[in-house]
Amino acid sequence: MIKLKDLLSEGKFKFKGKYLYMPDGQVTSIPKANERDAVIFTHPRYGELKIWQDKGKIYMQGEDFDKYVRTNELEKYLNKNKYKYLGIDSRW
């Protein structure tokens, strides 16, 4: 049986614990500071966005900004701006 809340949340990024669930069903964890990887998203207007954990917080690095955010702030930002998940790649 499909629940109404599942239909409403379909197609959105969602954090649960330490995992980020993508709109297409993929799951990833955010790389830590000692790893050289970052989760990469793209947007036709805003360009690439890379995220990883640094100093216990999530660090977002865009083409024209960088800042620390909480998990709920990142979730809202990705959903509001309709970013697309690209994959995991090197930060540099």
The pLDDT tens digits of the residues spanning 12-47 come to: 899 888 889 998 888 999 999 888 999 999 999 989
Alpha-carbon distance of 38 to 31, in angstroms, equals: 6
pTM for the model stands at: 0.81
The pLDDT tens digits of the residues spanning 59-84 come to: 999 999 999 999 889 999 999 999 99
Would you list the DSSP string of the chain?
---HHHHHHTTS-EEETTEEE-TTS-EEEPPPTTSSEEEEEEETTTEEEEEEEETTEEEEEESS-EEEE-HHHHHHHHHHHT-EEEEEEE--
Domain coordinates of the chain in residue numbers?
13-90
